[in-house]
Structure 1
Amino acid sequence: MGVLRAGPARQPAALHPVGQRRRGDRTGAAAGAPRVNGTVHRLPPRTVLVLGAALVLAAFAWGSARGAFTISPLQLLQVLADAATGAGQPSQERTVFLHIRLPRLLLGVGAGVGLGIAGALMQGLFRNPLVDPGLIGISSGAALAAGTVIVLGSVWWPELPRALGSWTLVLAAFAGGLAVTLAVYALAQGGSGTHIALMLLAGVAVNALAGAGLGLLNFLATDEQLRNIQFWLLGSLGGARWSAVLLVAAVVALATTIGCRLARALNAIALGEAQAVLLGVPVERVKRLAIVATALAVGAVTATTGIIGFIGLIAPHWVRLVAGPDHRIVIPASGLLGAALVLAADGVARTVLAPAELPLGVLTAAIGVPMFLALLRHFRERT
């Protein structure tokens, strides 16, 4: 009887030493990493995380001082010192920073972290760096639910606004995003488990259906209701309050914990689902957890801020370009970069037309679309 000899085990691409690249690998963000004399050069993992944290702190400090009411750096330091010690007299700068600007900035951090981590999870699950969390219908489901409450809530559920108050729209949008995600997940089920390609197609169909529903609601809405829908769809941190900050912080912290625990499994799935199963990875469980974490993070963010596009697409891709495809670094670094991008975009939105304020979703789309087209051109040149 002949002896079956196993060949050398293939090491997951995400676990290769920094600077190496599998021969013939032309997919993923690693293919676009900076090169010198044909060698891939990536930043060390600790450096990437430190740079991400520094960007968040810089954007936070800049956003703290800028706006329709400008606070100088010295005034900001004095406000922080007085708030920490409880000393000093109440001032206009202190009131603006602690009660208006600080919850807005913290909500921006939570939103950016949630969207960045959700994008990293979806790109890892689909094994495609051009995937956005919105492809599975979370944002469109939240938008449809919010629009339904705005237009039809007083007719169908007249007691709901009196019972829930300002939380009515937030809870409805959060529930709508989760419901649509569950529907997409159910449509993607097959005899052998969850089919990622079917999930993508189901997400496209659900997004189209939600768009049609929003069109109908816009037709039925009054002028005031139509303005409310459009304001919510454009995205903004202007409605930040401490209760919303706590909600987003709790949900995003849970999603971040789940995502970081899935990092090694996503590294194995990068080789393909069959290879991941051979390595002992519970692929179906990983899919479910990744989808749950994404739905929770994006649902909570969208429910409190409206739709903020392209952060979940751009942040993970940039991280892969400089750090490689290891999800142990990509997931937390994507959250940090997402927070920095949201804070920077919100600062620009508050200052470029001050005292007026640009919608945050419009600004992120204006920045994200050219970047997305540049990514498409990059991948076209490498194929």
Structure 2
Amino acid sequence: MGLGKQDGNGKKGESRTEAILLDRFWVLRRSVDVDGADFLVQTAFDSLEELRRNSRRIQAFGIVQAKFFEGQNQVRIHKSYVLDKTEPRTDFFCLIHTDDSSGQHAHYFFTASDIVGALQETRCGEYYAFKLTGKRAYTNYLNRPGRDILNTIQECMKHTERERNRAFIQDVFATHFGASRHFDETPDFEYHLKELDGVKVVLCRNLKHHESYLLDTRRDLFRNHGTYSWGYEGTGSKFLSACILAHHLDGEPPTADQVEALLKNLIVHLAQHGEHMITTSQLQTALEQGIDRGASLLEKAEYWLPHRPGASRIAFKLLGIDGNTIQIVDHHGRQWVVPDVEETLLSRMKLLFRSGRESTDVLEPAVLLLAYLLLGQDGKPSGITLEMVMYDN
């Protein structure tokens, strides 16, 4: 391909991509190709005051790479654009354009997760390669409506903003808070849970060095305005689980699964108003038991959803609602857009979604659903029926 032709195709890809993005975002061009960014997109604000208000927090920019190809030409995307170490970036997207056999515009849209899951690596191991073949038509990503593309980018940007702001807040807390550390490779503690004048406290006893101190209240790790609790699945109990684990891990943040394992396997089984002693050994046993999420999902699916032959039960998290369209992500990280949702079901979803957003029980509040996803042979959803339930795992 000549340089003039290549340059022309590049401009085609950029102009078509920009036309889609301008419907919702402020679009910034880069003078050089850094990190595969042909465009940076920013949430558009309706007023200067709103812009100023949002400037007080960390804002995420979407990074969008635009490509154009002809026929069966290969398109390559450098892996460093797509991956943050080993995980797909949440702020990178690629729009690949072409003209079909009738001369009509066609496009393929990929998130970083889509690229990792759908495209093959080149032999040199430095790129992901897109090429149409008899076996690889990428129909799941072909000609997605502009609104769906914009919704996906917007939700991924929101997720990126939440994570970056959370990391920033934790860094601030780490500087000014200074969590207690024990510096033991093999900790041996007792956590004494007791109630004094109606206030629940936890005393840490180091059995190796014979010293005691109060457990740190790690509000930087868990959003909670109250104090500790135990004996039930509430905010205070989750807060307690997070704080004990952060101490056990020598100040490091526990994972959500670790918090859930300690909560469900130990904390909820304690008497609410009793005095208790938790040892390091008991704590480790609770973590080793883990959580059988699959069994829990199956039990809930059997209870809430009728049996439909040939259907798959999958857990979904609701990302957003736009008119009568919902955006969801499954437990594999794949995002789906469900149009024309029935109004009665939609109103219930909005109610539960708002409830989830206002909840303080989780670090990233969101409503989870159980659903049937009926898949066609090409992997595209041929029909989706949703039943709303709150999922508490």
TM beyond 0.5: no
Structure with the larger strand share: 2
Q: TM-score, normalised to structure 2's length?
A: 0.21
Q: TM-score, normalised to structure 1's length?
A: 0.22
Larger RCO (alpha carbons 8 Å, 6+ apart): 1
